[in-house]
Amino acid sequence: IQAKTSLEPQPATLEIDAPVVVFGDIHGQLRDLLRFLTIVGPPPQNKILFLGDYVDRCKKSLEVIMLLLCYRIKFPQLIHLLRGNHECSKMNRLYGFYEEMRRKRTVYMWKKFQEVFNEMPLCAVISSRLLCMHGGISPEIANWDSLVILQKPKTPRACDEGLAVDLMWSDPSSDPCTGFQFNTTRATSYIFGGDTILKLCELLDIALVVRAHEVVKGGHQFLFDKKLVTIFSAPNYCGTDGNAASVMKVSRRLELSFVTLKPRLDTTRLTEERRALLEKMMNDANAKSPDPCKLKFLYCLYSPQRIQPNQYSSRCSAI
């Protein structure tokens, strides 16, 4: 009840000021969430924006969502929880959360969690320059008003319609793509190309689109001339993917840095062929991943012409 009450007043589109730490998918990987929080600093040390997909797939979904909701209740100005596609009942009924709740608590409690998920915002704007969501952009974003008047979807049907479904489900295309095309891989929403991202950044006067929703081998990945970044925060996803994981730190000056965790592989449960494949994937990820205690990459979101004299440095460099 407290969690729902804490989320209810929030609009579907949040406005957040930097500095802030941004998390991608967690999917019930409690241990890795705690590792990240230990490194970057939990609230009240930091303001944190989570991009959704807290539950399903892995074994500690209940513990993950309970921890985050407790943080939200205690630090409502510092913890912001966006809704991912797995915070919709049709998904978490099938991919693990329902069975976990039935085993650990009750079906009634699973239903109460759906009421909490219904109150989660769908996107966030950081310092008017970074547009964040779980999935991706939508052809229904005509201007800022499209996001300002957006309503939270409160029914399974509403989760599958309009702008809401795209913010939770759409993907950047891995192949050359112009405009928006039907997302055949997910059988819903769209895939989109770099031209759509560039147009949206110009339309809304933003510097970057920040999203999660997809495993990326190195934990984070820039696309489309660094106008879009994907963040994934569950290392060695489901114990089998061999991927690294990242969280993104946004400074007050809107500089970006990444903390990346290398995957830990449990080779005792794998076939020799699968173990060799995952070790190769892990080595590839490690080659691209920084030491988790170092901020590997900084990228200045302000173009020189936007910077006020003597206010910000126009150059950013690696630490």
Active site residues: 86
In whole angstroms, give the CA distance from residue 86 to residue 84.
5
**50 three-class SS:** strand
Instruction: Count the residues in the chain.
Output: 319
Q: How many CB atoms lie within 10 A of CB 200?
A: 19
In whole angstroms, give the CA distance from residue 189 to residue 134.
13
In whole angstroms, give the CA distance from residue 304 to residue 302.
6
Q: What is the secondary structure of 131-191 as a DSSP string?
A: EEESS---TT--SHHHHHS-----SHHHHTSHHHHHHHH-EE-SS---SEEE-TTTTSSEE
Q: Is the C-alpha dihedral spanning 99, 105, 107, 112 positive or negative? A: negative
**Angstrom distances, CA of residue 7 to CA of 11, 12, 135, 161:** 9, 10, 20, 22
Identify the DSSP state of 25: B
In whole angstroms, give the CA distance from residue 297 to residue 294.
9
Using alpha carbons only, what angle is made at residue 210 by residues 129 and 32, rounded to the nearest 5 degrees? 130
Residue type, 318: A
Q: What is the secondary structure of 201-236 as a DSSP string?
A: HHHHT-SEEEE-SS--TTSEEEETTTTEEEEB--TT
